């Protein structure tokens, strides 16, 4: 049954079946993960994107809120070969258009060959190919979403584990996955999650032992407030970052970032540590990367394309990772990163 249309930047319009009705647009990307669709769909880093699942069956173990990484679905639309009723109903309730019964292998190959592309979707009984093309024409490039942080960040600060015996971490919420705060709390840290546009005064009120820049969607150059915090605290307070956080920190310290052709999204990305020569498997979700590390040393690289996966500075007390050490979904090879982050902190003061 054809009652949905996917219009692509390369000029094609692909017919599909509507599973959650509506019209939407965004950057078409894909993930290679076999599992973890609940975590992926609630990952804020997918804001303003259309998520295509390369694995054919999505929803084969239901939908459970305890696996969510945030309080809502973030992709603007969802494309799969086959969505179960559970997932289709969830997406419809969330107001996120979804389609299936199309050749996702062909879509993934197109993205691999041409890069992530703009996309428009129209789904439902009255949908037409022209509707999808209208959405495509209105789609903006990811770098043009200059206010994307406001759609994924908290509005007011939240404290987790206020009575913890470990260091106090100021987590700058640029679209943080819930598992990042959980991983720090599990190590008895006190985590103060603050908005993406927090000021120096906001962070001073936290008096953190570590300043941590989270993951998030879009172009790192659009997160100017977070970069300003890095510039303010570098050399005085240890700094850490994951994904977008690595990119923001690099930009703030004289480095450069660039958009990747199709990014890294999946749970089997191999990363090599340049010091130990050890290779670990990692979970990743990003479309930008560090092109020049600035004042930082590249300590880990992606085995597939040599892009930087870890940046560090012993002198400045900085450690960042491009991948997601907290996984969810994915391998737990790199959970020790959070121990390394907390080890950067000075012994917490009495009020902590």
The answer to whether 156 is a known catalytic residue is no
Tell me: is residue 287 an annotated ligand-binding position.
yes
- Identify the active-site residue in 38, 47, 48, 326: 326
Residue 167 has phi, psi (to 5 degrees) of: -65, 160
Strands 210-213 and 168-173: what pairing?
parallel
Tell me: is residue 284 an annotated ligand-binding position.
no
- Identify the active-site residue in 243, 264, 312, 352: 243
The answer to whether 139 is a known catalytic residue is no
Strand segments (E) across 13-141: 13-20, 22-31, 49-53, 57-58, 77-79, 82-83, 98-100, 117-123
Tell me: is residue 310 an annotated ligand-binding position.
no
Angle between helices 244-252 and 224-233 (to 10 degrees): 60
Measured between its terminal Cα atoms, the distance across the chain in Å is 60
Residues 6+ apart with CB under 8 A from 209: 167, 168, 169, 237, 238, 345, 346, 348, 352
Q: 133's torsion region: left (phi>0), alpha (psi -120 to 50) or beta?
A: alpha
Tell me: is residue 330 an annotated ligand-binding position.
no
Tell me: is residue 288 an annotated ligand-binding position.
yes
Q: 36's torsion region: left (phi>0), alpha (psi -120 to 50) or beta?
A: left
Check if the beta carbon of residue 297 is closer than 8 Å to that of residue 275.
no
Q: What's the angle, vertex CA 102, arms to CA 115 and CA 29, rounded to 5? A: 25
The answer to whether 65 is a known catalytic residue is no
- Identify the active-site residue in 74, 145, 286, 324: 324
Tell me: is residue 285 an annotated ligand-binding position.
yes
Check if the beta carbon of residue 245 is closer than 8 Å to that of residue 252.
no
Name the one residue in this structure whose structure tokens are 């052709």.
261
Q: Rounded CA gap, 288 and 219, in Å?
A: 7
Q: Rounded CA gap, 345 and 236, in Å?
A: 11
Tell me: is residue 245 an annotated ligand-binding position.
no
Task: Give me the active site residues, please.
Answer: 243, 324, 326
Which residues make up each annotated binding site for L-glutamine? Answer: 45, 216, 218, 244, 247, 285, 287-288
Annotated binding residues, written as ranges, equal 45, 216, 218, 244, 247, 285, 287-288
């Amino acid at each position: 049954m054809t009652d949905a249309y996917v219009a692509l930047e390369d000029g094609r319009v692909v017919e599909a079946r509507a599973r959650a009705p509506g019209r939407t647009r965004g950057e078409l990307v894909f993930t290679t993960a076999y599992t973890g669709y609940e975590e992926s769909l609630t990952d804020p880093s997918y804001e303003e994107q259309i998520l295509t699942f390369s694995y054919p069956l999505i929803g084969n173990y239901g939908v459970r809120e305890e696996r969510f990484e945030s309080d809502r679905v973030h992709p603007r639309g969802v494309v799969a070969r086959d969505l179960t009723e559970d997932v289709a109903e969830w997406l419809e309730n969330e107001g996120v258009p979804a389609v299936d019964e199309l050749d996702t292998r062909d879509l993934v190959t197109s993205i691999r060959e041409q890069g992530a592309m703009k996309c428009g979707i129209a789904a439902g009984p009255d949908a037409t190919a022209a509707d999808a093309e209208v959405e495509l024409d209105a789609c903006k490039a990811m770098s043009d979403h200059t206010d994307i942080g406001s759609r994924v960040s908290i509005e007011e600060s939240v404290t987790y584990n206020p009575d913890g015996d470990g260091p106090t971490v100021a987590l700058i919420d640029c679209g943080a996955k819930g598992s990042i705060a959980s991983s720090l709390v599990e190590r008895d840290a006190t985590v103060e999650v603050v908005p993406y546009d927090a000021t120096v005064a906001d962070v001073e009120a936290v008096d953190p032992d570590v300043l941590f820049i989270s993951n998030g969607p879009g172009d790192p150059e659009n997160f100017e407030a977070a970069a300003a915090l890095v510039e303010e605290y570098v050399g005085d307070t240890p700094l850490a970052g994951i994904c977008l956080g690595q990119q923001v920190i690099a930009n703030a310290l004289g480095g450069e970032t660039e958009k990747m052709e199709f990014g890294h999204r999946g749970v089997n990305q191999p990363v090599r540590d340049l010091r130990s020569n050890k290779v670990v498997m990692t979970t990743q979700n990003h479309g930008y990367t560090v092109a020049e590390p600035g004042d930082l040393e590249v300590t880990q690289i992606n085995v597939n394309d040599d892009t930087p996966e870890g940046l560090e500075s012993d002198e400045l007390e900085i450690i960042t990772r491009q991948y997601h050490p907290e996984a969810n979904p994915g391998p737990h090879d790199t959970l020790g990163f959070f121990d390394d982050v907390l080890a950067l902190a000075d012994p917490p003061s009495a009020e902590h």
